[in-house]
Homo-oligomer: A and B are copies of this chain.
Amino acid sequence: MAGTATDLQTLKDLATRIRIHSVESTTLAGSGHPTTSSSIADILSVLFFRTMRYKVSAPRDPSSDRFVLSKGHAAPALYGAWVENGAVPASDLKKLRQLGCDLEGHPTPRLNFIDVGTGSLGQGLAVAAGMAYLGKYIEEASYRVYCLIGDGESAEGSIWESVNFASHYGLDNLVLILDANRLGQTQPTMVGHQIDIYKRRLEAFDFNTIPVDGHDIGALVQAFDAAASVKGRPTAIIAKTYKGRDFPDIEDKENWHGKPLGGETEKILKHLKGLIRNQGKLKFNIPPPLSEVAPVTISNVRLSSPPNYKQGQVMATRAAYGNALVKLAESNPRVVALDGDMSNSTFSEAMKKYGPKNFIECFIAEQNLVGVAMGISCRDRTIAFVSTFAAFFTRAFDQIRMAAISQSNINICGSHCGVSIGEDGPSQMALEDLAMFRSIPGSTVFYPSDVVAVERAVELAANTKGITFIRTARAPTAVVYPNDQVFEVGKALVPISTNKDQALIIAAGITLHESLIAAKDLAKAGIHVRVLDPFTIKPIDKQGIINNAHQAGNRILVVEDHYPEGGIGEAVLSALAEERNIIVKHVAIPRVPRSGRPADLLNYYKIDAKNIVNHVDELLKK
């Protein structure tokens, strides 16, 4: 498969053809970013036709070099490269941005040559760093990872989280290319063409840096070759480029962001076509991977042994998370936990102790944390479990949103939910996490109420596609379920019921435990209530809720340690939207809570057993 490296003139012509594709396709679409595409055309030409080792016929081959276009709005250039290498028919470009065409406005993995969706800026580098970490430390493979970011997006803090991570772990298989084209959407970037500023910043974070003329094909070839020989640290190629390069009267001009060339198109295309030296089919050589990585299987992963607790034993749900992860890792070495310096609180530390390939410390940088998890899980190479306090995943909402668009399979565990954490106060309490994770398309949201349920939630999550979330709690609570209890996604459990129930309480976590106490107290007073534990809040067991409500007086009390919006209450109400006759009383945390002892707070916010008794009394009057 070895051959002569693609010559420089051919690379120049390929770059020009990428520009032509970008201009033609965006003009036809009537929208898009041709000038942004043009500034990176030479970089893409060198990467895709000389530097990167990959298989055109198998774009997601696990042995190949990876490329992440963090500045996703330059998609037309990327599509143009894949047209030129033969993977995409040129005719597809005529349908750019149209419904039904996978060549979308910004790249998504609907295309088989895209690993992750981009378009929300500053996110690609974390994914690329995850891929590089996987290659260097977990797979010990030869593939390299290239990530192209814009200069405007380098203002995103997430970029610097990832820069820090990449240098800390000495990811010498990672190359960051910074496309310094000087212009943002509305005005010049903060740094403009002061390449030396980028160089100083990246060197301060211990990157090897190579400033280069981003339109000099020969210089780019040399830069990538030089990067390949650097050991122990990542390289940043800082490319000085011009937005709208080779578009006369548009190059380096403001007010051309995100606009097709319209009436200028014909003139520009004529100019571009005049730059091409080799007419007809271009001869290039794309080098194959240096070595093949072994196939891995990450499906059908099971706990190595069933849960082993005693009913009535008191233990925080978060404490079972680490146990479950280790049991999964015992079944499959590709289970990897990631944490943000919280592993002794989330209990992912069990994996840290289990094995060096099974844990990645991401320090206090939640955006990068989620991005790295996306990176290691690409191409089905690992099963990633990410943990920190549930509240702090709000920091990565945009990354999680993009993970759904990216068809990522990542599992997220957020500990320390709700006011029941107590004294640390509102900044540490997750009270909007269910709302956030429910809003993620295709997500599965687990809210296990005891340690047995946690172990099964972790196991189910490992085998569930898309984004999964597991909500765990700080407070110790009793084991409710026997070790052989069967749990299913979308299947509620009913720990307390009689044939004369007057109301149905739906609760999870701490409020399930309070509800169980309340139910027993009510029963003593002759009032029978059924208690339903939804187990998954999304999907929620619609039919189970309806059936149980019908058998319990068509009255439901939902009580949750979450803000009123988007949590269990609204999930239940959505399930009942088209039902007549069932009424729902919904009790949640109505405002920013205070610090205090957990029991004091549960009482103050009216979600403890005593208050639940009162809520039931009120509900029965309606």
Question: Can you tell how many copies of this chain the complex includes?
Answer: 2
The answer to whether B565 and A570 have CB atoms under 8 Å apart is yes
Q: In the assembled complex, which residues on chain B have CB atoms less than 8 Å from the CB atom of A345? A: 185
Contact (A31, B394) CB under 8 Å given A205-B201, A435-B566: no
For A110, the chain B residues whose CB sits under 8 A away are 594
Is the CB of A577 closer than 8 A to any CB of chain B?
yes
Chain B's nearest CB lies how many Å from the CB of A104? 4
Residues of chain B within 8 A of A349, CB atoms compared: 186
Does A121 lie at the interface of the complex (its beta carbon under 8 Å from any beta carbon of B)? Answer: yes
Contact A427 B597 (CB under 8 A): no
| B365 close to A186 (CB less than 8 A) | no
With an 8 A cutoff between CB atoms, is A425 at the interface? yes
Binds B, one of A155-163, A237-245, A446-454, A481-489: A155-163
Question: B566, A566: Cβ atoms under 8 Å?
Answer: yes
Instruction: Point out the residue from B106, B152, B563 that lies within 8 Å of A441, measured CB to CB.
Output: B563
Question: In the assembly, what is the distance between CA of A591 and CA of B466, in Å?
Answer: 12
A277 at the interface (CB under 8 A from B): no
Instruction: Please report the C-alpha to C-alpha distance between residue A367 and residue B442 in the assembled complex, in whole angstroms.
Output: 26
Q: In whole angstroms, how far apart are the Cα atoms of A342 and B73 in the complex?
A: 14
Complex contacts, A391 vs chain B, CB 8 Å: 120, 398, 401
The answer to whether B573 and A583 have CB atoms under 8 Å apart is no
A206 to B226, CA, bound (A): 29
Is B579 touching A583 in the complex (CB atoms < 8 A)?
yes
Interface residues of A toward B: which range? 35 or more
Q: Is the CB of B364 within 8 A of A121?
A: yes
Contact of A439 with B442 at beta-carbon distance under 8 Å, contacts A97-B596, A104-B595, A120-B395 already known: no
Taking a contact as CB atoms under 8 Å apart, the answer to whether A97 and B361 are in contact is: no
Please measure, in the bound complex, the distance between the C-alpha atom of A29 and the C-alpha atom of B427, giving whole angstroms.
Answer: 18
Residue of B nearest to A367 (CB): B157
Q: Which residues of B contact A563 (CB under 8 A)?
A: 439, 441
Say whether B424 contacts A402, CB under 8 Å. no
When distances are taken between beta carbons in the complex, the residues of chain B under 8 Å from A118 are: 427
Measured between beta carbons, the chain B residues less than 8 angstroms from A604 are 99
- Which residue of chain B has its CB nearest to the CB of A424? B105
B426 touches A117 (CB 8 A): yes
Query: A184 contacts which of B120, B364, B367, B584 (Cβ < 8 Å)?
Result: B364
Closest CB-CB distance, A563 to chain B, in whole Å?
Answer: 5
**A576 CB to nearest chain B CB (Å):** 8
Residues of B within 8 Å of A592, CB to CB, are 108, 404-405, 441-442
Bound Cα distance from A391 to B158, whole angstroms = 16
Does A249 count as interface, using CB distance less than 8 angstroms?
no
User: Contact flags (1/0) for A402-421 with B, using CB distance below 8 Å?
Assistant: 10110000000000000000
Specify which of B152, B361, B577 is in contact with A584 (CB 8 Å cutoff): B577
A251 at the interface (CB under 8 A from B): no
Task: Give A349-403 interface residues, CB cut-off 8 Å to B.
Answer: 349, 361, 363-368, 391-392, 394-395, 397-398, 401-402
- Contacting residues of chain A (228-255) with chain B, CB-CB under 8 angstroms: none
Alpha-carbon gap, A404 to B101, bound state (A): 42
Q: Does A55 contact B (CB under 8 A)?
A: no
**Shortest Cβ distance from residue A423 to the other chain B in the assembled complex, whole angstroms:** 4
- By beta carbon, the residue of chain B nearest A101 is B595
Cα A187 to Cα B340 with chains together (Å) = 11
Residues of B within 8 A of A401 (CB): 391, 394, 432
Contact of A155 among B164, B189, B190, B584 (CB under 8 A): B164
Q: Residue on B with the closest CB to A152? A: B364
Question: Is residue A522 within 8 Å, beta carbon to beta carbon, of the partner chain?
Answer: no
Assess whether B586 is in contact with A577, with CB atoms less than 8 Å apart.
yes
Task: Judge whether A98 is part of the interface by a CB distance below 8 angstroms.
Answer: yes
Task: State how many angstroms separate the Cβ of A539 from the closest Cβ of chain B.
Answer: 11
Chain B residues lying within 8 Å of A571, measured Cβ to Cβ, are 565
Most chain B C-beta atoms within 10 Å of own C-beta, residue among A186, A427, A442, A579:
A427
List B contacts of A392 (CB < 8 A): 120, 398
Docked complex Cα distance between A187 and B200 (Å): 29
B574 engages A586 (CB within 8 Å)? yes
**Given the known A-B contacts A97-B596, A583-B580, are A439 and B428 also in contact in the complex, defined by CB atoms under 8 Å?**
no
Interface status of A122 (Cβ within 8 A of chain B) = yes
Chain B's closest residue to A205 (CB) is B201
Interface presence of A270 (CB below 8 A): no
**Minimum CB–CB distance for A148 against chain B, Å:** 16
By a CB distance below 8 angstroms, the chain B residues around A153 are 364
Contact of A363 among B29, B152, B580 (CB under 8 A): B152
A214 within 8 A of B: no
Are A574 and B583 in contact, CB atoms less than 8 angstroms apart?
no
A12 to chain B, nearest CB (A): 31
Instruction: Write out the residue numbers on chain B whose beta carbons fall within 8 Å of the beta carbon of A168.
Output: 190
Q: Is the CB of B405 within 8 A of A427?
A: yes
Identify which of residues 326-355 in chain A touch chain B, using a CB-to-CB cut-off of 8 Å. Answer: 341-345, 349
**4 A-B pairs with least C-beta separation:** A157-B157, A119-B427, A99-B596, A104-B595
- Give the interface of A toward B (CB within 8 A): 29-32, 72, 97-101, 104-106, 108, 110, 117-122, 152-153, 155-161, 164, 168, 184-187, 189-190, 197, 200-201, 203-205, 341-345, 349, 361, 363-368, 391-392, 394-395, 397-398, 401-402, 404-405, 422-428, 431-432, 435-436, 438-442, 538, 563-566, 569-571, 573-574, 576-586, 590-592, 594-597, 600-601, 604, 622
Q: Could you show 5 A-B contacts with beta carbons less than 8 Å apart?
A: A31-B423, A155-B164, A186-B344, A565-B570, A580-B581
- A566-B566, A578-B585 known; 8 other A-B pairs, CB under 8 Å? A99-B604, A104-B595, A105-B425, A118-B427, A187-B341, A405-B592, A435-B565, A439-B566
